[in-house]
Amino acid sequence: MTQRAYNFNAGPSALPQEVLEKAQQQLVNFRDSGMSIMEMSHRSAIFDEVHNEAIALLKKLYAIPENYEVLFLQGGASLQFTMVPMNFLAADQKASYILSGSWSEKAFKEAKLFGTPVEVASTKDNQYRNIPALEDIHFNEEDAYVHITSNNTIYGTQWREFPETENIPLIADMSSDILSKPIDIQKFGLIYAGAQKNLGPSGVTVVIIRKDLLEKANKNIPTMLKYTTHADSNSLYNTPPTFGIYMLGEVLKWVEAKGGVAEIEKHNELKAKVIYDAIDNSNGFYKGHAVPESRSLMNITFRVTDEELEKQFLTEAKAAGFVGLNGHRSVGGCRASTYNAVPLEACEALRDFMVDFQQKHQA
């Protein structure tokens, strides 16, 4: 087999090699059925077991209380930008949106179609280099909900602490850091996340939603856009992304085998430190985008201070087997996405490449 690439893609991103190899072994004949899991009915007993195993394991790993539902949907986080206000923001209501990057801007824009989203904090004026300070954020107790994006893939920032919203439901887009560290689920009314960064392949969207919110949701919207439709049918109202759910379950088993989310967090901290140290110890040759107290453990964004050298850096990195190091097309620069499945060895290899490149080209 060709040597595995050093995969730093922002999404779809690296999957655990053990999971890929297991899927390869099971691809043609899943559990002695004579079929691939991609060929069998989503109503079959075999798939029902796979589906429920994945739900149960996610609840276990994240200590999700009984008063929450776990849903497997489609459409990515981008559809959730619409579903959230469609279900919970009436035309005469306001909701608080905290802007910390491009994806929170997109969510804010969609909410304007249904009610009145209010920008209660933003770090756009600082080029989204940091997360808003908690003491600067103020809510109205009549808000329908508060929306945040927990990790910002483009700018490389991440919430360390979440705002206290008391009786106002806190809704979070956790697409790029879900399952990367332990969180208190009970702080949130709803969490949503595309699977393609930490949970599995693209095509599955996980929603964790408090049951009392389901009871309050708008009933006068299309069937497929109601959370209650999917909660009432255990996410099997229509044909789900069966292979994606199977892979998600296998990734969850991998997380459990690694010691659970707390151990995954320790590993993520170590990986990120390896690369951040290379930036911080470069005497200005590399410059991080995010301020240190807001740095993401999932997306490490930086520039080579000389623009022409930056182009050369990315070209040589690609030739050396590093994939996905180009920054987002909207901001440029460099970005290393170090999601759960990215091994420490890949981060060490990138550090070594960065140090070597600097030694060759620093004036």
Point out the residues that are catalytic.
103, 173, 197
Q: Which residues pair with 210 in a beta bridge?
A: 68
* Residue 84: half-sphere exposure toward Cβ, Cα within 13 Å: 37
Tokens read off for 15: 């999957």
Yes or no: say if 100 and 128 are a contact pair by the CB < 8 Å rule. Answer: yes
Q: Which residues contact 22 (CB under 8 A, 6 or more apart)?
A: 250
The conformation of residue 292, written as its DSSP 8-state character, comes to G
Q: Which residues contact 99 (CB under 8 A, 6 or more apart)?
A: 105, 108, 119, 121, 122, 123, 124
Site of tokens 């206290």: 164
**Residue among 100, 195, 194, 86 nearest 145 (CA):** 86
Write the DSSP string, 79-129.
HHHHHHHHHH--TT-EEEEEE-SHHHHHHHHHHTTTSEEEEEEE-GGGTT-
The conformation of residue 295, written as its DSSP 8-state character, comes to B
12 preceded by cis ω (within 30°)? yes
User: If you compute the radius of gyration of the chain from its CA atoms, what whole number of angstroms results?
Assistant: 21
Yes or no: say if 137 and 165 are a contact pair by the CB < 8 Å rule. Answer: no
Furthest CA-CA distance within the chain: 65
